[in-house]
A and B are shown apart, each in its own frame.
Chain A
Amino acid sequence: MTADELIDNFSFIDSWEDRYKYLIELGNQLPHLPDEKKTDEWRVPGCQSQVWIVPHFENTSIWFEGDSDAIIVRGIIAIVLVIFKDKPAQEILDVDVEEIFDKMGLREHITPNRRSGMLSMVDKIKYYAAQSIGN
């Protein structure tokens, strides 16, 4: 699955009910993090649900695992992980996540008002990416 395919899939959905159902489906498909990885070290600060992002640095590439205790947030994480999958660090830094979420009709989920860790999640991923290339 690529970000473009996800945008495509969302474009066929009219109602928020179906959009949420698809998010839940994506959330259900996301592998759970083992409990030993759900530590404060990997926790993304957010008020309403718990979110964890674990980076993995391998040679020149970087990839992520993520989890949450809220199912819709798990769906969002699944999308975020797709967006950042198989990308070199510099490209991760350049991605405009808001634009992609906008195209999926999910813009409301990345407004700072949600306080759900969504924006912080992206910030954290970009932070790890910047770190890996010494920025």
Chain B
Amino acid sequence: MFDAYEIRKDFPSLGQLIDGKRNTYLDTAASAQKPLTVLKRIEKAYKDEYANVHRGSYRLSELATENYESSREIVAKFIHATNKNEVIFTRNATEGINLVAATFGWQNLKPGDEVLLSVAEHHANLVTWQQWCLRTGATLKYFDLDEDGSFNWENFANALNSKTKIVAVTAMSNVLGTIFPVKKICQAAHAIGAKVLIDACQFAVHKKIDVTEFDCDFLAFSGHKLYGPTGIGVLYAKYDLLKDMPPYQFGGDMIEHVYYDKTSFALPPAKFEAGTPAIVQAIGLGEALRYLMQFDFEDIEKYEQALIDYTTQILAQIPELKIVGTAQNKGGVFSFAVKNIHPQDLAFVLGKEGVAVRTGHFCAEPIVRKLGYTSLTRASLGIYSVKEDIDVFVKALYKAKEFFR
């Protein structure tokens, strides 16, 4: 049974006071707080089960390897991949996307080809493809969204053509909250022979990932937004693609045999995990996903939808506040602007009231600029968010409005 109030007890950091105020944490879209079980798992991994992986035949190395690899299985289960060797551990989602661009993109893109992105992509996705298009001579194209942030199928379908080689889109915008129809996107892209990369960083926090159902070619997300440690991310890729992609980095653990003049490489995923990996972070991520999987995503979604509705309704009552991104199908992020108050000023006052929100362009500068802003404020929800968070936040908003009147 899903009970956010019970869940809060699992997150020690939520109970702390911030300068004497209740910790009203509304910045999960930037990074999530960690449940105690993850912290304990990390400690145990370092204290009782630590050695390098894939190397020694002694007990601790075997144990560490077992734990590291069983995290891979947990990830595969979490994203509904049928083959755990399609799961590559990366540093974060950014590295996952860079890996695809620098291997698959480098190998396949040539002048005349097109890479298609939405206008609302995070810099991790946008800058990476922009730069690899510049390097390969491929053309970067964008499709627009509706004014309210909704996904516009016609815009997408019209931009897709026989020259499109890669479609790289978010599954949920970190600015607008819009949920993208990833399954349909994959179908349409595959029909014209393009591959699809999904940036699932935000989506993963709010909705069930099913790579088998999506039929996506690549999917990346980071661990730290999913209640796991920093320094660990996941790239899922179809095994047939991984087999043919060149290595991303060279070094230990990714080889089969090395000679002075040549090297044969290991099979995926090892081929893409050069050097000592983030062992304990991967184990911590496994624990975070295990923690998450005790809940039914349908229950999480149902609970969150009610909180989204509540928040939307209460924010709509605040004079001179405009929510940016009001698509029917959206996840729990609320970007907004308050007339005549700069987001940074707003965040100063909210911060003093213990309310953590993000300000700026949220690493998606082009879409924020396109919407006519240099900076916005964003409140975002996690599984531990409750109505009281919204009430404290809104009260602080009114206080800020008084303050800057």
> A residues bordering B, Cβ < 8 Å?
16-17, 20-21, 24, 47-50, 69-73, 116
Contacts and interface: CB of A to CB of B under 8 A. Distances in A.
B359 A71 contact: no
A20 B350 CA distance: 12
B404 A69 contact: no
B82 interface: no
Nearest to B340: A71
Given A69-B342, A72-B345, A73-B342, 11 more contacts: A24-B404, A48-B343, A48-B359, A48-B360, A50-B374, A50-B375, A70-B342, A70-B343, A71-B404, A73-B345, A116-B344
A69 B403 CA distance: 17
A47 B343 CA distance: 11
Nearest to A50: B374
Given A70-B344, A73-B344, A116-B344, A47 B352 contact: no
Interface residues on B, range: 10 to 19
Contacts of B360: 47-48
B344 A49 contact: yes
A16 B348 CA distance: 10
Contacts of A47: 360-361
A69 B349 contact: no
B347 interface: yes
Contacts of B359: 48
A54 B344 CA distance: 22
Contacts of A73: 342, 344-345
B349 A71 contact: no
B29 to A, nearest CB: 16
B348 A20 contact: yes
A103 B347 CA distance: 23
A20 B341 CA distance: 14
A49 B352 contact: no
15 contacts: A16-B352, A17-B403, A20-B348, A24-B403, A47-B360, A48-B344, A48-B375, A49-B343, A70-B342, A70-B343, A70-B345, A71-B342, A72-B345, A72-B348, A73-B344
